[in-house]
A and B are shown apart, each in its own frame.
Chain A
């Protein structure tokens, strides 16, 4: 029995088919498992191991390398406040402190109501809107404590759900179809092109 829902399982298998080796689909598959469960669950790990031909120890170890994968459940909204250099110079540490107070959770933890998890992030590459804040990896561009409070209110009321999906959903645009060009076609084209090029090189000599 697949732990992934039928539709996700199908997408998982499509992802695996995009790569020359199944293991390459590891990160997209972990995103998918996280999309379903809100975090990378042991069951999700087992399924990714099966899909990639690896082991659960390997999948867990790989997932734990990457900050975006949560191996424990997190809140519906994961709020990231950057305190790296550009944001530090614009009050990132102070905003993080403020966020912790408003959300009611320490950095690295989840609020009691399970709505928010707070993270201190490294640079999110949006430094013209420093200090930079992301919610579920969407840039919200609230750089002051006042606008942050407004954001939190909107999130609590569900008024931002159209643009900020629940934690785990990274991409709402999916690839259309698998690989579009047959592998054999590409291989023979490249071979032909190489032969033609070699001939040109020969002629110029």
Chain B
């Protein structure tokens, strides 16, 4: 059974019908964290976040406190908040943006204070029209309330947040691609070196890029202390975390659970959470951290929901998305669709990703729709090896950004776990599930 005693940190108010309004926000402790932070020295605020050991909630899981401490000291610096949630089957930030925009804004203002940045840009995925409207309303209300703008709450700290709509490109979830989009360019991830955001970020100035959920944790950490946060979870994975559960489960949805204390089995089967598989079917496989992550079989269900715990098993917790396949799922079709996604979303810069994803997608399409050959399996594995040599995890990279090496995960996973299913496709000349 799942361990569900931990406080709800980022979803504390999301169950209210009017959770997105400023009045509900204020009635549920809104801006208390900010008021407290403004009485502290900026570095003391940063220290709390560091002590909380809050791992970034975007996907890479880099400690937020360390990321902050790496910001190059300069007269002008920026905080950019990444609300471009686009990893397939990841829908946790979407929930926060629509249900608690004020909480995110509070977290942003506190972070901006701790970091002493000059301006904040809040990049929100363009397809979230409602989320964008609610975030903009929250920002407008914050100005109105004195929580933003000149001399916040009478302090000597002034700040502007600009809400920036994305326009439909998965790659802008990569922080340097997001900066390019914010500079009004095509979302091409930047080469590193020299463009590490903390050193040469937005407009070549030092920049911190943080995820929406990361920001949403900040007010609680300031109010309750980093230690209280670090008391939750275990190992390197502290606090609670949002998990987006999707696929062949009874109750798909976003769940805030304490890290490490719960396992994938808890998340998928606990009646208070996923509630088990649809129609009581059996689980065939699951993806533990977004479609970039290597697949897990049912034997991995008892792995704890922790960053290192999943990493040790050869995959990643990634974006916090868990996708469940049952025995009716065609893994060839699933892997084909994921590959098609990467092919459509490749920015086009790096040859292995641009050409490799398209090539693999076409082979997988053939495989699913009846043109598959046995030798295609070796071909695909070799092409995957040319995109991410060695096949290990974390993958070796031949491309500028991690999108390239994410392509092979589903194909190599499907082939290694379900080789026979591919062969059935070849023999049948089509999909055996049709």
Given contacts A137-B127, A189-B158, contact A128 B167 (CB under 8 A): no
Specify the chain B residue showing the minimal Cβ separation from A52: B184
**Beta-carbon contact of B184 and A24 below 8 Å:** yes
**A28: CB under 8 A from chain B?**
yes
Contact (Cβ within 8 A) B128 A171: no
Q: Among A2-10, A85-93, A105-113, which stretch is in contact with chain B?
A: A85-93
A172 to B93, CA, bound (A): 21
Would A28 and B341 be within 8 Å (CB), given that A21-B183, A177-B143 are in contact?
no
User: Are B126 and A197 touching (Cβ within 8 A)?
Assistant: no
Contact A84 B252 (CB under 8 A): no
CB-defined contacts of B43 to chain A, threshold 8 Å: 197, 200
Contacts of A123 in B (CB 8 A): 86-90, 341
| B353, chain A: closest CB distance, angstroms | 15
Of the candidates A173, A185, A187, A192, the one whose C-beta lies within 8 Å of that of B137 is A173
Residue pair B136, A68 in contact (C-beta under 8 Å): no
Taking A176-B143, A180-B160 as contacts, is the C-beta distance between A125 and B167 under 8 angstroms? no
A152 to B325 Cα, complex, angstroms = 31
Interface string of B125-136 (1 = CB under 8 A from A): 111111011101
Name the contact of B136 in the complex, choosing from A126, A175, A181 (C-beta under 8 A).
Answer: A175
CB distance from A116 to the nearest CB of B (A): 18
Q: Does B183 lie within 8 Å of A186, measured CB to CB?
A: no
Q: Which residue of B lies closest to A29 (CB)?
A: B184
Distance in angstroms from B126 CB to nearest chain A CB is: 5
State A196–B344 Cα separation when bound (angstroms): 50
Contact A83 B337 (CB under 8 A): yes
Contacts of A191 in B (CB 8 A): 75
Is B221 in contact with chain A by the CB < 8 A criterion?
A: no
**A27 and B181 contact, CB distance less than 8 A:** yes
Output the nearest chain A residue to B252 by Cβ-Cβ distance.
A128
Q: How long is the Cα–Cα vector from A89 to B338 in the complex, in angstroms?
A: 12
CB closest chain-B residue, reference A132: B91
CB-based contact A125/B94 at 8 Å: yes
Say how far B356's CB is from chain A's closest CB, in angstroms: 18
Q: Which of B129, B133, B181: most chain A CB closer than 10 A?
A: B129
What B residues does A31 contact at CB under 8 A?
A: 126, 165, 167
Q: Distance in Å from the Cβ of A181 to the closest Cβ of chain B? A: 4
Known A-B contacts A23-B185, A197-B43; the reply to A68 vs B167 at CB < 8 A is yes
Give the contact stretch, choosing among B53-61, B240-248, B258-266.
Answer: B240-248
* CA of A8 to CA of B198, assembled, Å: 36
A82 to B218, CA, bound (A): 33
Contact present for B337 and A66 (CB under 8 Å) = no
CA distance A34 to B85 in the complex (A): 23
- Flag whether B166 is at the interface (Cβ < 8 A): yes
Among B91, B130, B167, the most chain A Cβ lie within 10 Å of the Cβ of: B167
Asked if B136 and A173 make an inter-chain contact with CB atoms under 8 angstroms apart, the answer reads: yes
Whether a CB of chain B sits under 8 angstroms from the CB of A124 is yes
Cβ of A182 under 8 Å from chain B: yes
Q: Is B116 touching A27 in the complex (CB atoms < 8 A)?
A: no
Other contacts beyond A125-B86, A171-B133: 13, CB < 8 A = A30-B167, A84-B337, A84-B341, A85-B341, A121-B127, A125-B93, A138-B130, A171-B136, A173-B140, A179-B162, A180-B160, A187-B118, A191-B75
Task: Give me 23 A-to-B residue pairs in the complex whose CB atoms sit less than 8 angstroms apart, sorted by A's number.
Answer: A19-B162, A20-B119, A30-B167, A31-B165, A85-B247, A85-B291, A85-B338, A88-B334, A89-B246, A89-B329, A123-B341, A125-B85, A128-B91, A137-B127, A170-B132, A172-B133, A173-B133, A175-B136, A176-B143, A179-B162, A182-B158, A187-B76, A187-B118
Identify the 8 closest CB pairs spanning chains A and B, nearest first.
A26-B184, A180-B149, A67-B168, A66-B167, A181-B158, A68-B168, A23-B184, A86-B246
Q: Which residues of A contact B (CB under 8 A)?
A: 18-21, 23-28, 30-31, 52, 54, 61-62, 65-69, 83-86, 88-89, 121-128, 130, 134, 136-139, 170-177, 179-182, 185-187, 189-194, 197, 200
B interface residue numbers (CB < 8 A to A): 41-43, 73, 75-76, 85-91, 93-94, 116, 118-119, 125-130, 132-134, 136-137, 139-140, 143-144, 148-150, 156-160, 162-170, 181-187, 203, 244, 246-248, 252-254, 287, 291, 323, 325, 329, 333-334, 337-338, 341, 344-345, 347
